[in-house]
Amino acid sequence: MDLLKLKNSFENNFLGRGVLLAASKIYGVGAWLDRACYENGWKASKSVNSRVVCIGNITAGGTGKTTAVLLAATTLAKEGIRVAIVSRGYKRQQNTQGPVVLFDNPDVDWRSAGDEPFMMSRILSQYKVPVVIAPDRAAAATEALRRFKSQIILLDDGLQHHRLKRDANIILIDAKNPFGNKHLLPYGILREPMRALNRANLVVLTHCDQVDVHQREAIKDQIREYNDAVEIIESQHEPEYYFDICKTQKKDLAEIKGPAVCVSALGHPETFENTLTGLGLELKQKWRFPDHHYYTEENLHTFEDTRNGLPLITTFKDFVKFPDNWREILTKDVYVLSVRLKILGGDKEMNLFTDALYPKFSKIQR
């Protein structure tokens, strides 16, 4: 069932909107109870002997969280700090007993890890950054500390996960659609009420290149209504290169222009498609699937049979979910667009980001 289509159908009539609003109220009570249990000590949060930094959001999808985690991990690893990522492994197909560790382990694939953690592990392999997956993020953090003596643990998308204590929260806000209609799921896009912004040690506005300065300042004013002391920095997603998966080599962005097709299963596919258009591609076909879609051989045959020899562009998150025999179906001109998060404003803003990760590098015992 396509939940997005179902939600849209409910929004198109008065009764349906009433059902969604009632569901939002129920969702809000559940979220409040869960947090209250930890705040009042009815449930125990666990500390680990490592700095824990959460990179998350208060809305559902589309903020660019994964690229922020990648930027944080590479920044730390390049400084020689032992960093690990812990993640829930959303929508992984195979649930296993205990944490799943992605680190020089060829027997673990995206089905048991989840598509985003698996993608992060592949990208970070050159920096030897382990990714540990478990629904219980405290157990994952304990495993990371035991196996890798991690000095800093990045809690991926864990703002609403209260079992693991953290030292700092970095909250990402999508400048294109920061808070939706300001209602909780499923009527709105908020995972928590906006007052959750008071837990932020740093706010990163993403996709700032796609809105004007007046819109960005208005968003900052809204954030400061709930957290007047928090630092707010701006960022954008910047294409780096294309990766030719058939030839396993990088290609400069300028090398691919003109007609092309694309496929993605993302929270906001239009952002990916707009990026491609901005790079000089004329998209003749856009295949969109629900977020975290599992690709089938039939899907790939459709792409190959209807793209008319045009380049096929996708994302790393999508590529890792192609069937194992994808090479037998897609034989040439298939490219992954590599994108990175760029902190805007120069050294001052980048230092705010790194200080949220580790307040002062000299304080970290290496």
The answer to whether residue 8 scores a pLDDT higher than 90 is no
Residue 173: name the closest of 286, 60, 35, 340 by CA: 60
Neighbours of 287 (CB within 10 A): 19
The answer to whether residue 359 scores a pLDDT higher than 80 is yes
State the first-to-last Cα distance of the chain, in angstroms, to the nearest integer.
50
More confident residue, 8 or 41: 41
Q: Return the pLDDT at 196.
A: 97
Residue 92 pLDDT level (bands cut at 50, 70, 90): confident
Overall average pLDDT of the 106-119 stretch: 81
Residue 262: name the closest of 240, 279, 249 by CA: 279
Give the pLDDT confidence of 291-344 residue by residue, as tens digits: 889 899 999 999 999 999 999 999 999 999 999 999 999 999 999 999 999 999
Q: How many residues does the chain have?
A: 366
Give the pLDDT confidence of 152-185 residue by residue, as tens digits: 999 999 999 999 999 999 999 999 999 999 999 9
Instruction: Determine the distance from the C-alpha atom of residue 244 to the mean position of all C-alpha atoms in its chain, rounded to a whole number.
Output: 23
Give the pLDDT confidence of 242-285 residue by residue, as tens digits: 999 999 999 999 999 999 999 999 988 998 999 999 999 999 99
Q: Return the pLDDT at 1.
A: 46
Overall average pLDDT of the 116-133 stretch: 92
The answer to whether residue 16 scores a pLDDT higher than 90 is no
Q: Return the pLDDT at 106.
A: 67
Q: Return the pLDDT at 237.
A: 94
The answer to whether residue 122 scores a pLDDT higher than 60 is yes
Indicate the DSSP class of residue 132: E
The Cα 228–Cα 198 span in angstroms is 8
Q: Return the pLDDT at 94.
A: 61
The answer to whether residue 93 scores a pLDDT higher than 50 is yes
338: three-class secondary structure by DSSP: strand
Average predicted confidence (pLDDT) for the chain: 92
Q: In the chain, which residue ranges form alpha helices assigned H by DSSP?
A: 3-11, 14-39, 65-78, 110-113, 115-124, 137-148, 213-224, 269-278, 297-306, 316-319, 326-329, 347-357
The Cα 161–Cα 155 span in angstroms is 9
pLDDT more than 70, % of the chain: 94
Contact 183, 82 (CB under 8 A): no
Indicate the DSSP class of residue 269: H
The answer to whether residue 91 scores a pLDDT higher than 80 is no
Residue 80 pLDDT level (bands cut at 50, 70, 90): very high
Contact 295, 323 (CB under 8 A): yes
Please list the residue range(s) of the chain that carry CATH number 3.40.50.300: 51-237+342-361
CATH among 2.60.40, 1.10.10, 3.40.50, 2.40.50 for 238-339: 3.40.50
The Cα 95–Cα 73 span in angstroms is 25
Q: Return the pLDDT at 58.
A: 97
> If you classify domain 51-237+342-361 with CATH, what class do you get?
alpha beta
Helix (H) or strand (E) holding 158: none
Residue 62 pLDDT level (bands cut at 50, 70, 90): confident
The answer to whether residue 2 scores a pLDDT higher than 60 is no
Contact 162, 46 (CB under 8 A): no
